[in-house]
Structures are given as C-alpha cells and as structure tokens.
Amino acid sequence: MVMLLTDAARRALLPGERLPPLPVPSRIVSNGEYTPPPQSVRLQGYERRFMDAAAFRARASGQSLAQWLRSPAAMAGAFAALNESFGPHFAVGNGEADDAQDAQARRDALAQQFIFDDQVHFLKDDADPALFGALTGLIEITADLLKLPHAGRFTIEHIKFTQFLKDIYLDSDTKIALLSGAPSDDPAGWMLTNDMMAAARDAVNEVAGGTRLLTHAILAPGHDGWLDEIDRVHATIRPSGWKGYSVGEPFSPSQHRWRLDDEALMYPAYDRLVRAGVTNLCIHKGLLPDNAEDILPGAEPYARVDDLPRAARDWPQLNFIIYHAAYRTIPGPTAAELARFEATGRIDWVSDLAEMPTKHGVSNIYADIGASFAFTVLTHPRLAAAMIGMLVKGLGPDKVLWGTDSVWYGSPQWQIEAFRRLQMPPDLIARFGYPDLGEADSPLRRAILGENAARLYGIDPSSYTGQGVETHHLESIVAEYRARGGGPSNMVHGYASHA
C-alpha cells in the first residue's frame, strides 16, 4: 500500500500504538493518507483531566489502572472529561464514571443494539512488529477461542487479521461489518484484493456460525480488464456491493481518476452491475488533505460530489452510497471552514450532498459517516452533531449509514459510544431545524447505527439480538473471551504527532 507520508515523515511521527491507552483517543491518528496535526489544547486538557482522575478511580474500584482503563466506567469518564474540554456535548450519567456497576449496567443494556458497520479494514501493512509484542499472548488466546490455526508463535502477519477480529467482534458491540479496501495504480499496492476480501468474509462467517462479515469488491475504472473483473467477481465471489475511488486511489497521485457521470467510461460499468443484480455502489468522496494540491495535484475535482446528481438520476436502479459523507478536509476542519460553518451553517461538500434530494430530485443517494465522524467528534463535537443533523434533514433519517473506518482507530467501541452520547446543540435545532438525536437507543440512533444499512443489504436485525438465530455461536465466544479477562487494548494503529 503506497502512502502519502514519506519514510522520513513517518520516522518523525509517533506510532499510534505508543499513545496512552485511553478509552477515547486523545490525538488524531493518520493511517498514512495525511500528516497528523499536533495535539490540540482541548485534547491536551481532556487527556490531562482524564488521567488525573483515572488513578483515583481505579484504586476506588479495586482495579489496577490498566484494568480500569478497559472498563465501561473509564469510557464514561472519558466522555465526562471531553465535556470539560469541549462543553456539554456528550450525555454522561451522574456518577457513571465512579460507579462500575452503573456503567456496566448501561453497557449491558445497549449491548444488543443492532450495529452494522459499513466500513472496516485490516491493520495497516507496515505496522512495526516490535510494537506488538505485548499483544501476542492475548492474540493467541483470541485465536484459540476463534479456532484460528496457528503454530503457537505469533508475528505481525497473524495480528493483522486476528486483531481485526478482536477489535470488531470481541471488543465492540458491532454485529455485522462490511469489509472494504482501496485500489492502487500499482497492482501490488492494493490494500486487499477482491479475492482476499471474499476469503476473509468466508473465514469469519464460518467461525461465527452465521453472517457477520460482508464484503465489497473494488471497482477500478481504467485498469486493465476492469470491466471483465465485474463479471468475474459476480460469477465467483458474489460481493454485497461495490466500492470505487473517483480520485483513483487515496494514497498517491493516480493515473485513473474518473467521474461518476462519465457516460463513456462509467455507464457501461453501471449496466454490468445492474445486470448482475447489484444495488449498492459505494464511492469514496472528500477526505482531502488541506495541502492536497501540493501532494495530490488535480485530485480535488474528482473528490467533490458535483458528478453525483446526473449519475443518480440516470441510474435509479443503483443506490449511490457516498463514503465519509464527502467531508472535505482531513484531519480538519480548517479555521476558515469552521468560521464558514458558524456564519452560514455550511460544511464543505457535506452540505452539497445533503441538498441533492431537494435541488436535483434524486432519492437514491446515501451518506456513510465513516472517518468523518471520528475526526470531527474528537476535534469539534459541535460540528460532528451538525454534520449528522444536516444529513438527516437533507437526505432523510433512512439515508444515513454508520461506518467507523476501523481498525485504523482501534476498536470501534469508542466511536459507538460517542454516537450514542452525542447531543444536538439546542441552537442548531432552533437555527437549522436539525433533529434532536434522542436517547442512546432512540429510533433515529438505531436507524443510523444499523437499521438503514440492514435494509440496503437484506439483513434482518432481529436475527442478531435477543434469541435471534444469528446470535448464539459468536455470543458464546465473546462471553468466554471476556470471562478469561479479554478486553479492549485501547490502541490505535497509525501515526501521531509528538507535539
């Protein structure tokens, strides 16, 4: 996988695995697509306040600090500390961080909430093996529980896939995940091939005893044989949908950029997808570094969403699912973008996406919030809430999908908790008519966290909760894992600024 960060730049950064293991990260971590920013003053304050209270709370609970940091009470304490830094954006019960039983009861009450994560990945390929030595014992336990083959000695090669299983299925409330990848102009640089993703899907579902992992296939317009690959994949792999990068690839300048409304290039592909019975086409949009013109010259016209309305009108048989909700700047927002939001209520490219049903009369456009939610909720929770509000208001409450871009950001549980707790600021409700998000298990939150994606991918959520037929085998694995002391590592996997 080619990365925009040079070797020299990465050597000057801090590996994410060395960050303090807080339940909610205190720094923005890059997966290699951009230079991570210095830790903000507010996130410094969050980290300091949380850690100042952590030792006392751990002693009071009779746990070691390491044990307490992995507990539901610590998660509550993290959001309480974030409220002190950013203002009261997250719902935290009185005394929840100090009452282990109360915190655990809340976690247990929400554990059966149906969560469909429509954007997950494996651990980055060039992770430093030396950073993961302490994990191998726990990874071995996990592999034994999941009945994964191993020779008794684990290397980084085992941790990639096994860590994915641990973070997604054992350490979070995720019920179903959709495995994604990314293309590269260099065939050796693909994150995962279509066949690799299908193999992972089949392995997970066999171990879990049901449907727990779905997969994309990657659409690669302009690559040799790319149209024939559509037919081959549907004959042999049967993916649940397709994903494309109109910027060509996210990690370096590409020779294969394209527009959704390019009739000569793309419409023959749409025809093949429709004839194969495909309904879901996911497109990576937005997420450009603020210096994109320097490192990805010419990419911006292909990252915007102005090519979407015509394609959506011309192909009503397809659901166009726009990944990252087209949120423009990573790891942004810039000061100018924040000022523009406060003055006008607009968020670059997200507003354009949300306005399409009204402006263009299309009803087959969806927004996934993967990565964009993780960035904004850690840096500007008010903006994160506004993004959710404008998408729900503009596209409809049934058109916003949950994604986390994990495992780049570790287990997705902190993002799940952030979304369950995030509150819509009253002034945004009054000024723009954004919806109140409701309680942690409100109908709107349930729709976004899983029910909307379930409908698109033909999944019955009731099969994954309570006594549903899809619950038993994996739930027993999770119960045994936790009884044996398993729990989240609170690690993230990428690059962070030292400052």
pTM of the predicted protein model: 0.91
pLDDT for 458: 96
The CATH number of the domain holding residue 196 is 3.20.20.140
- The answer to whether position 1 is within a domain reads no
Confidence band, pLDDT 50/70/90 cuts, at residue 243: very high
Confidence band, pLDDT 50/70/90 cuts, at residue 5: low
CB hemisphere CA count around 90 (13 angstroms): 28
Is 229 found in the same domain as 80? no
Range of the domain at 390: 116-464
pLDDT at 341 over 90: yes
Please indicate whether residue 83 or residue 132 has the higher confidence score (pLDDT): 83
Taking the C-alpha atoms of residue 63 and residue 196, their distance in angstroms, rounded to an integer, is 41
Q: Tell me what the mean pLDDT of segment 85-109 comes to.
A: 93
Percent with pLDDT over 70 in the chain? 89
Mention every residue, 6+ apart, whose C-beta is less than 8 A from residue 306.
352
Taking the C-alpha atoms of residue 326 and residue 171, their distance in angstroms, rounded to an integer, is 29
Q: Tell me what the mean pLDDT of segment 125-136 comes to.
A: 41
Confidence band, pLDDT 50/70/90 cuts, at residue 109: very high
Confidence band, pLDDT 50/70/90 cuts, at residue 130: very low
Please indicate whether residue 2 or residue 78 has the higher confidence score (pLDDT): 78
Dump pLDDT digits (tens) for 462-489: 988 766 666 667 778 787 887 777 888 8
Question: Which of 337, 177, 189, 324 lies closest to 251 in space, CA to CA?
Answer: 189
pLDDT at 149 over 50: no
pLDDT at 367 over 50: yes
Domain count, the chain: 2
Kindly report the length of the chain.
499
120 pairs with which residues across the strands? 179, 406
- The answer to whether position 474 is within a domain reads no
pLDDT at 373 over 90: yes
Is 256 found in the same domain as 132? yes
pLDDT for 127: 40
pLDDT for 240: 96
Is 126 found in the same domain as 104? no
How many other CB atoms are found less than 10 A from the CB of residue 59? Answer: 12
Q: Tell me what the mean pLDDT of segment 11-22 comes to.
A: 85
pLDDT at 200 over 90: no
- The answer to whether position 469 is within a domain reads no
Is 214 found in the same domain as 121? yes
pLDDT for 477: 79
